[in-house]
Each structure stands twice: as C-alpha cells, then as structure tokens.
C-alpha cells in the first residue's frame, strides 16, 4: 500500500499536465475548443476589451485634437506677470525668449462689444502684431484643412492700422464679410465729453475670417491691431502677456522648466492651463467611460465564477480521483487558475484584434463622422493596452477565488467510498 502511494506521488505532476487538464475542462465536449458554458464569459471579455480599447483610443483622439486646436489658437505657452499686472519691458523679454530658440509674440486681451448695423455681439479681442503672432498661432495662417484663415489674409499691410480678423461663427452672427466695417465699443465709460462719460469706440475693417475648429472660439474670438487693443486698455506701451511657441508642444512643460529660471517674478503656463475646464472634462470623461465599461468585465467575471463552480460540482468525483492519484490542493487550484487565465487570454487577444481592426479602419478612412464633417479622431496608446490587459487578468484572478475555496471541500476518500 505504501509503495503504491509512493509511486502515485512520484508520478510527476507537472505544470504541463495541469495545463492539459485545464484546457480539457475548458473545451468540454465542444469541437471548437471552448465549451458552450464558457462562451458567454468569453464574449463578455472580448467585448469588454474591445470596448475599453476603442473608447480609450477615441478619447485620446479627442484630447489630442482639442489640444491641437487650443495650441493653434491660444499658442503653446504663455508668459505673464505673477500678480496679473501688465508687462512694460516686453521688448527685452521677447528678445531673451527668441535667444533661446523660441518664437514669441506680445498680446493685449480685451473684452469688447462688436457692432455692425443693428447687430451686436460681445467678443474677446486679442491685440497682436500680425507678423509675430502668425509664428505662434497657426490659426492666423492660410487654412490647409479645417483650421486657419478661410477668407482674406492677416498681413501687416492690411491689418496693422485698421484691420480685424473674425472667427467664422462671430462673422456669421454679425452678418459681415470681407471689407465690411465694424465698430468696437468698450464696456467702460471712461471718455470725458461735454455730454458726460462715453465708451471708447473704434472702427475697423474686416480683412480676414478664420476657423479655429472649436465653436466656442469661432463664435467669440477676434484679432485686432496691438495699438488699438492698447488704447482700449489705456496702455501706453504695455501688454498683458507673451505667447510662446517651441514647435514641440508635447514637451512644453520641459520648455517651461528651461525658461522659468530666466524670468523670475513671471508666471509661465503651458496650453493645458489656457482652457483647463475643457481639457479636464475630456480627461474625466475618459476615466468615467473606463469605469462604466468595466462593468462588462464584472459581468463576465460573474459568468466565469458560475462556470467554474458548475464544473467543480459536475466533476467532483473526477477531482476526488485526481486527489487520490496525488494531485494536491495546490495543483487543483492551479488547474482552475490556468483555466480562467486561458479563457481570459483568448478573450483579450480576440478583443485586441477586433478593436485594432475598428480603429485602423476609422483612422485611415474616417468612416465615422460627427455632424457630417468632423472625423471622429482616434489615437492608440500603448499604456491603455497594458492597463486593459492588467485589469482583465486581475478581474479574472478575483473571479476564480470563490471556486478555489470550494476545492477544499472535496474529500477524495469519501467520494471514492460513495462510488465503490
């Protein structure tokens, strides 16, 4: 008896034999490699991986697209005074920034009322030097795609003294076209006259219409000559801030770290701070969608737990025999862990393949569009793939814990006696 026990214990229960049994239990009697009881679990994992990768890539695409539009309109970096006061010695600052290999342009920001005939609209007016601003704001260059100057041109000859460039939405609301005249009206009544204080009024001619690619910008932004903006702000030769471009927006924070020591007492910000609420909303939506779609994995996890519990119940005698042949509780735990991870691996591979096909088709053909014109952007990031794979295996591991506890209740001797 002892010799038999010794022989069975030394049969050599290898990881290979355990994986073979795991695959056998996973396949059942199916000719397709996966038992019918596991198909819903496999489908849940596949769809979960596919949905998570697809949604994450779309949200990444949105974030990159929005950041590109923000940078194209509001520039990549901005230098201003720490206390929010105007900058007086900006010529020296411009020269020092350009000496570091960056492009820079002075800006005066004013909120004015634009009036044409009986129509009036509030607008954000950026006072600029057109030659310098075009180097940091691509939106003022001639459009080659969806963004840029779509009518007219922003150049020194037509713009410098009496020109204005309007966002496409703002021009439409005012009902103006190229060469039309617009009145700029200050919200402050600070011009003394015989009739009391009156607002400052200045007339400009529409020389360009641009598209920023974002409705909130197109409907409220305009560019005016720097001197005109300074007069509305009661500046002699001051500006509000300096816009900076490196041509490498992905490393803008590194560039800020490089510039900051050169300008103590000044504040340097990158593009993500210019419209932080919009950028934060996109990031939040990505994480929210990720959490919501995780419920697909949770459902798949419940299915996996149920499937493994069913196998343990149906094959309790067979598992008892395996114990009698020398399989330890640890070996049986490996058996069901392998089974869960095999199922998870198949689902992950299938989900990655399907999501890859969908994303490549969208990226190359622009099949799905928003509003009929804007292509739904996608951007695949390796970090998202690693995160989804890690979460998939983690939820699979958690899902098999309850079935593993049931294995402790299997008594090989008792099961064999019942069936003798």
pLDDT per residue over 311-328, tens digit each?
777 776 777 777 777 777
Weakest-pLDDT range from 31-35, 90-94, 144-148, 226-230? 31-35
Q: First-to-last CA distance in the chain?
A: 18
What is the number of other CB atoms lying within 10 angstroms of the CB of residue 415? 18
The yes-or-no verdict on residue 177 having pLDDT over 90 is yes
6 three-class SS: helix
Burial class (CB in 10 A: 0-12, 13-18, 19+), 253: middle
In what helix (H) or strand (E) does residue 44 lie, and over which residues does it extend? helix 36-74
Mean pLDDT for 393-413 is 76
- Region 158-163: mean pLDDT is 83
Angle at 395 between CA 390 and CA 397, to 5 degrees: 95
**For residue 92, what are the contacts with CB-CB under 8 A and spacing of at least 6?**
none
Contacts of 387 (CB under 8 A, 6+ apart): none
CB atoms within 10 A of CB 15: 10
Q: Cα–Cα distance between 129 and 106 in angstroms, integer?
A: 7
| 347-373: average pLDDT | 85
What gap in Å lies between CA 119 and CA 173, rounded to an integer? 8
Query: Please, are residues 44 and 392 in contact by the beta-carbon 8 Å criterion?
Result: no
The domain spans of the chain are 2-66+279-418, 78-245
Residue 137, classed as helix, strand or coil, is: coil
Position 106 scores a pLDDT of 95
CA pair distance 410, 13, nearest whole angstrom:
19
C-beta of residue 14 within 8 angstroms of C-beta of residue 266: no
pLDDT mean over 45-70: 85
Classify residue 414 by burial, with Cβ atoms within 10 Å: 0-12, 13-18, 19+.
Answer: exposed
Residue position matching structure tokens 């929005």: 66
Half-sphere exposure for 340 (CA within 13 Å, toward CB):
29
CB 174 within 8 A of CB 220: no
β partners of residue 184: 114, 202
**Running DSSP on this structure, what letter comes out for residue 294?**
H
What's the pLDDT band for 225 if we cut at 50, 70, 90?
very high
Instruction: Categorise residue 47: left if φ over 0, alpha if ψ from -120 to 50, beta otherwise.
Output: alpha
**Closest by CA position to 400, among listed 300, 250, 269, 286:** 300
**Residue 116 confidence (pLDDT):** 93
User: Which DSSP state fits 410?
Assistant: -
Supply the mean pLDDT for the chain.
82
Q: Residue 371: is its pLDDT beyond 70?
A: no
Q: What is the pLDDT of residue 33?
A: 60
């Amino acid at each position: 008896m002892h010799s038999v026990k010794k022989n069975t214990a030394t049969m050599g229960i290898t990881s290979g034999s355990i994986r073979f049994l795991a695959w056998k239990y996973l396949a059942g009697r199916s000719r397709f490699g996966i038992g019918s009881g596991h198909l819903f679990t496999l489908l849940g994992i596949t769809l979960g991986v596919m949905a998570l990768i697809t949604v994450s890539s779309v949200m990444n695409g949105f974030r990159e697209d929005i950041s590109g539009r923000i940078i194209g309109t509001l520039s990549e970096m901005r230098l201003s005074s720490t206390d929010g006061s105007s900058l007086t010695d900006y010529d020296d600052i411009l020269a020092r920034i350009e000496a570091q290999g960056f492009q820079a342009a002075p800006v005066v920001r004013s909120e004015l009322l634009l009036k044409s005939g009986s129509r009036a609209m509030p607008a954000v007016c950026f006072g600029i030097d057109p030659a310098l601003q075009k180097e940091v704001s691509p939106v003022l260059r001639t459009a080659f795609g969806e963004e840029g100057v779509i009518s007219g041109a922003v150049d020194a000859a037509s713009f410098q003294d009496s020109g204005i460039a309007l966002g496409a939405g703002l021009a439409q609301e005012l009902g103006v076209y190229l060469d039309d005249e617009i009145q700029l009206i200050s919200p402050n009544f600070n011009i003394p006259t015989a009739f009391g204080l009156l607002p400052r009024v200045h007339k400009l001619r529409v020389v360009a219409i641009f598209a920023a690619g974002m409705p909130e910008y197109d409907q409220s932004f305009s560019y005016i000559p720097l001197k005109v903006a300074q007069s509305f702000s009661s500046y002699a030769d001051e500006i509000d801030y300096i816009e900076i471009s490196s041509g490498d927006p992905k490393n803008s924070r590194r560039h800020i770290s490089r510039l900051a020591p050169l300008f103590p007492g000044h504040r340097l910000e990158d593009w993500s701070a210019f419209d932080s609420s919009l950028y934060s909303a996109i990031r939040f939506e990505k994480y929210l969608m990720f959490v919501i779609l995780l419920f697909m994995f949770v459902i798949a996890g419940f299915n996996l737990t149920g499937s493994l519990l069913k196998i343990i119940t149906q094959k309790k005698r067979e598992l008892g025999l395996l114990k009698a042949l020398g399989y330890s509780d640890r070996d049986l735990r490996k058996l069901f862990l392998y089974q869960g991870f095999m199922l998870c691996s198949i689902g992950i591979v299938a989900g990655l393949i399907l999501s890859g096909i969908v994303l490549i088709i969208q990226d190359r053909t622009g099949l799905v569009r928003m509003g009929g014109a804007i292509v739904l952007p996608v951007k695949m990031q390796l970090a998202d793939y690693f995160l989804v794979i890690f979460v998939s295996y983690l939820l699979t591991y958690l899902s098999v814990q309850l079935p593993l506890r049931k294995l402790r209740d299997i008594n090989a001797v008792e099961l064999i006696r019942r069936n003798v």
